[in-house]
Chain A
Amino acid sequence: MPSSVPLRSRLADTRRSRLALRARELASGWAAGSHRADRKGSGVEFAGHRAYTPGDDLRHLDRHALLRHKQLLIREFFTDTERGLHLVVDVTSSMHYRGRDESKASAERETKAERALLLAAALAHVGREAGDHLGLSWISDGARKTQKPKGGAEAFEHIMHELVSLDQDLSTRAPTEKKSEQEGGGANFEDLFRELGSAIPRGTIVVVLSDLLDLDRAQIRSLSALCTRKRTVRAAQILTPEEVEFPFDGALRFLDLESGREVETDGGQVKTDYIERLEAYTADIRKQLLAQGGQLIRARTDEDPKDTLRHLASGAASER
């Protein structure tokens, strides 16, 4: 690269290519055809019989069944078809938490938002390979953006560009900027989910990549409401090991990253209570999603992202 290119731009390109490379590497092995659509039609895999109705294609009329049962039966097949995949990425302040990973250098640690962007990019690759229509929504403190699912390479490139931009934005943000955003206003998930409920088409798979730590009951209801119109919601709760295990001890004063709430406590004494509260909260979301046909998985930042991607992608494939 010529030396006249500004350093920031070079770093941005490097980062873009890194995210893209990691996402493509992560998504490799996932191809079209491996995902079965939920529509039956002119595919190759036999799906069963049904009674003939006028207007059916006579090519699918089962002659053997007519001779055997003297009934007009139509043979049905599963068909591989394009389906919308909408990615919802949470980049609010709570997603900037990096956690503590003593085995790695500080610069190599991954924030929850970075993990969410990586998974989103990888899923976008998987969706493009499957020929799905791709859509993207992201939400930050006081801002959000939605791109409705579209097919084609242009939509994929647009989504990748958006994800890389968010990634760059994360890397250039300073803690003070985060604070000012906090003060500027919180993320409104309820509005986002309502907007998506009317904007994204029927049958779309909605993948939510968030820590889901700050949802109130109304927001959880609006999330599960996305499951209407044959849509499926796959939520990945991305947490750091510290948030799952609470390895703190001694006198501590915690400050909530989004609400600014302050709690003084004793780490060793409240560990069990904390874990119980977190699990109860997560179980409540999972229960509501399951009731609507959705799914919630937990993704830890210290786990291999491939596992999370496998869970999300296989889940999505099973829905087709």
Chain B
Amino acid sequence: MTFLIPLALLIAAFAVFPLLAHALRRGRASPHHFPATRFVPSRTTTARQRHRLEDRWLLLLRILLLACLALLAATPFVKCSRLSLGRTDGASVAAALVIDDSASMRAKTAGGSTRLEAALEGARQLLGTARSGDSFSIVLAGHPARVHTSTTTELGSVRDALDTIRATDRKTDIASALDLARSLQEEVPQSDRPIVLLSDLSIPEASSLDLEGVILPEAGLRSPMENCALVSAVMSPDAVQTEITCTSENAIKGRKLQLFDTRGTAIGSAVAAQDGAVRLPLARKDKKAGDKKAGAKKESPNMDALEVRLTTSDVDDIEDDDRCVVIDSPAALSVGIRADQGTAGVKTGAGTVLQAAVEALDRGVRVQSLSLLPEDPRELEPLSALLIDDPSGFVPEVREAVTTWTEQGGVGLVLLGPAIARAPLGSDFAPFLRSSPSWKATTSSGADPSQAGALGPLTTGWVDLGARHRATWAEDDAQTLARWDDGSPLVSERALGRGLLLTVSLPSSVDESDLALRPAFLELLDYAISQSAIRRGARATPVGERWGVDPTATVTGPDGSELAKQPFAATEGTSTGYSDFVEPELAGRYTITHADEEATSRVAMRDLSEHVTQPSQTLGSPRDEKRAQGMARVGISREIALLTLVLGAIELAFRMLARTRRRSPLREGIS
């Protein structure tokens, strides 16, 4: 508790006066003259006890009254969970409320509500302290950032607008939301223009956010979470490849994966879940059914309706991300392969080992051989996956193009080989690796299955690779999917934007090792292509990505509700070919029904980082800390004034009651 005028607390010293007064009068009742006193029995103990009791209550009441008066004069403030709109100069305020409605805000807080509910409650508390003349705007920080309510002084409509905000599976886009809020604030007439960010800051780049002048109340949003999320599930001929991401081992412990059909019947056996990729094999008849479905899917888009579910757990803070629709292998995936025919060619035929391996997968993907790595992102645009064998490094233009393409959902796989020793000046292996690799001789025979990561038992085929040399690099934050038996990374994986980058420490050349000759190599390629289908496939896009639709089409979401179509801006409309768009904000399958009754389905996918990134506790740029603390300080003078009134009334009633009870006719009777 803090005070505006602490010196006023000295008033409490006056409590000594009631103490003195009570001490003086406490002993005996006032005398009453009475002629028949000789017949009155003495009850000294009872009388004094009652008197003492009444005295104590009165004394307590009076001391409390004085203490309340002292508190009232000192103008107290308490720090509490309720937020209040602080004013720098007492004038009206134009506040921009930036509310994070991303998927991470679905996590539960210590209070049992979700982070989004806590953020909305905080916003309502701020609105509750607003005065006439204050204006508010609401910007939502789920990708893409958008203005939910333009600046208005109609507090009722702002309150109503808060009630319409729902939890989504969007990824976080705080930077854009803050930019939007700042642009809104430039137009308001008020001089006091706070921007209040209500977010858990569960983003990897939180430290690089520009929070200058932004008020960031804690509001119970940034407590760590335990969670596992099903990021994707892709159908392959005999299995469903799922990707699970978890905050810790504890979150996945004891949980299983199950496959269900549209009717909710389990059609796949449950397998133990683990952090990373999990292969959920299909039973033979299920496989057939799956094939049948896959085949029929071309005729009817509704056939692909399988769902993978993660069994529940007590430590799971987000329950909505424990199920995921299975998307089928995309038919029109295009895989770019850059490999040297001379070093990585197939001895027995044309083409390279990589080409042969991809064709052996029989996934119907279109293979495109690249003579050079593109330096323009637009050249990579048609590709969903990029396989690079034994590169000598990437020049800056290539790095830039690959980075942009990956961030948009591309999946890259690079197999490092002896060419890294001939890396030209100015080239490196970013974005696959943050450090420069080296090509060295190795005594290690192959992979260690016990240290296998997401690839798991598949790496048993790589126990003896027969490699004499291998690429090595310094380990960083990339996830290692398989390791050499001496602990060095064999296969590593790094998420970048919506995409994924895989690095293998051996080339595909059979002259260098037996890597490409083992089945696990095909599994690795299958994994990469599946991921590309998920991340960049035509039918699966991240949540929040706009889908162009015909004005006559209707789009039904995974919860059965129809999505509202919005018109494209003029420039956007010409580039997409559609006049309207919908913005899916929940992960799952959407059905688009066209005017001719033909229905197609699309899938909105979750962003991996939203479900496992912990709230950031340290922020790089300075923010309005003082005001943020002030928002949690609430004046309690009104409550104390009410308490003082109540105490005064009780004291008065007490005195009247005591007076009535003690009233003696004797004093009045003496003439």
Q: What is the interface of chain A mostly: helix, strand, loop, or mixed?
A: mixed
The yes or no answer to A96 lying at the interface (CB within 8 A) is yes
CB distance from A118 to the nearest CB of B (A): 15
User: Which residues of A have CB within 8 Å of B597?
Assistant: none
- Give residues 72-118 of A contacting B (CB, 8 Å): 93-100, 106, 109, 111-112
The yes or no answer to A175 lying at the interface (CB within 8 A) is yes
**Cβ contact of B669, chosen from A213, A240, A267, cutoff 8 A:** A240
User: Which residues of B have CB within 8 Å of A243?
Assistant: 34-36
The yes or no answer to A249 lying at the interface (CB within 8 A) is yes
The yes or no answer to A259 lying at the interface (CB within 8 A) is yes
Pairwise interchain contact B35-A257, C-beta atoms closer than 8 A: yes
The yes or no answer to B426 lying at the interface (CB within 8 A) is no
User: Which residues of B have CB within 8 Å of A211?
Assistant: 35
Pairwise interchain contact A255-B44, C-beta atoms closer than 8 A: no
- CA–CA, A259 and B35, complex, Å: 9
CB distance from A6 to the nearest CB of B (A): 23
Q: Which of B73-81, B92-100, B659-667 contacts A (4 or more CB under 8 A)?
A: B659-667
Pairwise interchain contact B668-A106, C-beta atoms closer than 8 A: yes
The yes or no answer to B348 lying at the interface (CB within 8 A) is no
User: Which residues of A have CB within 8 Å of B37?
Assistant: 254-257, 259, 261-263
User: Which residues of A have CB within 8 Å of B39?
Assistant: 213, 274, 277-278, 281
- Total number of A-B contacts with CB less than 8 angstroms? 134
Pairwise interchain contact B43-A265, C-beta atoms closer than 8 A: yes
CB-based nearest A residue for B37 = A256
- CA–CA, A16 and B305, complex, Å: 119
User: Which residues of A have CB within 8 Å of B663?
Assistant: 250
**Cβ contact of A98, chosen from B36, B41, B670, cutoff 8 A:** B670
Pairwise interchain contact B29-A264, C-beta atoms closer than 8 A: yes
User: Which residues of B have CB within 8 Å of A70?
Assistant: none
**Cβ contact of A254, chosen from B32, B658, B661, cutoff 8 A:** B32
The yes or no answer to B31 lying at the interface (CB within 8 A) is yes
Pairwise interchain contact B671-A252, C-beta atoms closer than 8 A: no
- CA–CA, A18 and B38, complex, Å: 35
Knowing A99-B669, A250-B662, the reply to whether A264 touches B33 (Cβ < 8 A) is: no
- CA–CA, A109 and B40, complex, Å: 24
The yes or no answer to B42 lying at the interface (CB within 8 A) is yes
Pairwise interchain contact A251-B50, C-beta atoms closer than 8 A: yes
Chain B interface residue bracket vs A:
20 to 34
User: Which residues of B have CB within 8 Å of A109?
Assistant: 669, 671
The yes or no answer to A297 lying at the interface (CB within 8 A) is no
User: Which residues of B have CB within 8 Å of A96?
Assistant: 670-671
Pairwise interchain contact B42-A265, C-beta atoms closer than 8 A: yes
The yes or no answer to B124 lying at the interface (CB within 8 A) is no
- Give residues 44-63 of B contacting A (CB, 8 Å): 44, 46-48, 50-51
- CA–CA, A257 and B667, complex, Å: 12
Q: How many chain A residues have a CB neighbour from B under 8 Å?
A: 47
User: Which residues of A have CB within 8 Å of B669?
Assistant: 97-100, 109, 240, 242
CB-based nearest A residue for B30 = A253
- CA–CA, A175 and B668, complex, Å: 12
- CA–CA, A214 and B35, complex, Å: 9
CB distance from B54 to the nearest CB of A (A): 8
CB distance from A249 to the nearest CB of B (A): 6
User: Which residues of A have CB within 8 Å of B670?
Assistant: 96-98, 175, 257
Pairwise interchain contact A259-B47, C-beta atoms closer than 8 A: no
Encode contact with B along A152-179: 1 for CB under 8 Å, 0 otherwise. 0000000000000000000000010000
CB-based nearest A residue for B36 = A243
User: Which residues of A have CB within 8 Å of B43?
Assistant: 264-266, 269-270
The yes or no answer to B434 lying at the interface (CB within 8 A) is no
User: Which residues of B have CB within 8 Å of A256?
Assistant: 33-35, 37-38
User: Which residues of B have CB within 8 Å of A98?
Assistant: 668-671
- CA–CA, A247 and B661, complex, Å: 11
The yes or no answer to B288 lying at the interface (CB within 8 A) is no
CB distance from A275 to the nearest CB of B (A): 8
The yes or no answer to B440 lying at the interface (CB within 8 A) is no
Knowing A96-B670, A175-B670, A213-B38, the reply to whether A257 touches B50 (Cβ < 8 A) is: no
User: Which residues of B have CB within 8 Å of A269?
Assistant: 43, 46
- CA–CA, A281 and B40, complex, Å: 13
The yes or no answer to B298 lying at the interface (CB within 8 A) is no
Pairwise interchain contact A97-B35, C-beta atoms closer than 8 A: yes
**Cβ contact of A266, chosen from B28, B34, B50, cutoff 8 A:** B50
- CA–CA, A112 and B47, complex, Å: 29
The yes or no answer to A273 lying at the interface (CB within 8 A) is yes
- Give me 20 A-to-B residue pairs in the complex whose CB atoms sit less than 8 angstroms apart, sorted by A's number: A93-B35, A95-B35, A98-B671, A109-B671, A213-B38, A247-B665, A248-B665, A252-B47, A254-B32, A256-B37, A259-B38, A262-B31, A263-B40, A263-B41, A264-B42, A265-B40, A269-B43, A274-B36, A274-B39, A274-B40
**Taking beta carbons and an 8 Å cutoff, which residues of A are in contact with B?**
93-100, 106, 109, 111-112, 175, 211, 213-214, 239-240, 242-243, 247-259, 261-267, 269-270, 273-274, 277-278, 281
If A99-B665, A109-B669, A248-B664 are given as contacts, then 6 extra A-B residue pairs at C-beta distance below 8 Å, sorted by A number, are A256-B34, A257-B33, A261-B38, A266-B47, A269-B43, A274-B39
**Taking beta carbons and an 8 Å cutoff, which residues of B are in contact with A?**
28-44, 46-48, 50-51, 658, 661-666, 668-671
5 tightest CB-CB pairs across the interface, nearest first?
A100-B665, A94-B35, A256-B37, A250-B661, A251-B47
